[in-house]
Amino acid sequence: MTNVPVDQEAVEVAIANESDLPGIVDIMNNVAASSIATFDTRPTSVAERRAWFERFLPTGPYRLLVARRDGEVVGYACSQPYRDHEAFRETVELSVALGAGRRGQGVGTSLYRALFEVIAHEPIHAVVVGIAMPNDASVALHRKFGFTEVGTFHEYATKNGQYISSLWMQRLL
């Protein structure tokens, strides 16, 4: 898809393929274990994530992109169904996750730039994102891409004995 200079090193952003799934799962497990950015509370496996991976296609509104540096998956971003109702067919929920030590290097920006390019001509009217708080870096990334705040779910989830709130943001295309 593209090579983007990030932190003086090239990052390739591309449509995810089967060989990327272990790297994606490693990132998911690291994020689940080290933060509240995801509500996952236990590690997952490649086998458990295969059905999720197979929902993404090279065309259409539901895409999965990866950022690779020297062949290693260092981040991913995706657009997926917001809700399983026909009324939400033109709304997608976005997610972005980065490997350990990859924040602040432009990887998330590169992933979102590419994701917005590939979904630009799809039948999508609104993109939404829920951000577990606090997460100033994610809020800043989404504001950079034109998202606005629409509300907060206060203390609606628990993880590791703490209540978690999520800020919801959206962008109309």
* Structure confidence at residue 118 (pLDDT): 96
- pLDDT (average), residues 141-163: 96
pLDDT of residue 26 exceeding 80: yes
Kindly provide the residue ranges of all beta strands, DSSP E only, lying in the chain, ordered along the sequence. Answer: 2-6, 9-15, 64-69, 72-81, 91-98, 126-133, 148-159, 162-172
- Give the chain's domains with CATH numbers: 2-125 (3.40.630.30)
* Structure confidence at residue 8 (pLDDT): 45
Average pLDDT, the chain: 93
Question: What are 58-98's pLDDT values in tens digits?
Answer: 999 999 999 999 999 999 999 999 999 999 999 999 999 99
Question: What are 123-144's pLDDT values in tens digits?
Answer: 999 999 999 999 999 999 999 9
- Alpha-carbon distance of 165 to 157, in angstroms, equals 7
* Structure confidence at residue 1 (pLDDT): 58
- Alpha-carbon distance of 24 to 17, in angstroms, equals 10
pLDDT of residue 3 exceeding 70: no
The token duo for 114 is 């590419």
Question: What are 95-121's pLDDT values in tens digits?
Answer: 999 998 788 788 999 999 999 999 999
DSSP assignment, residue 154? E
Decide: pTM greater than 0.85: yes
- What whole-number percentage of the chain has pLDDT above 70? 95
Q: What is the largest CA-CA distance in the chain?
A: 44
- Alpha-carbon distance of 54 to 99, in angstroms, equals 22
pLDDT category at 43 given cuts 50, 70, 90 is: very high
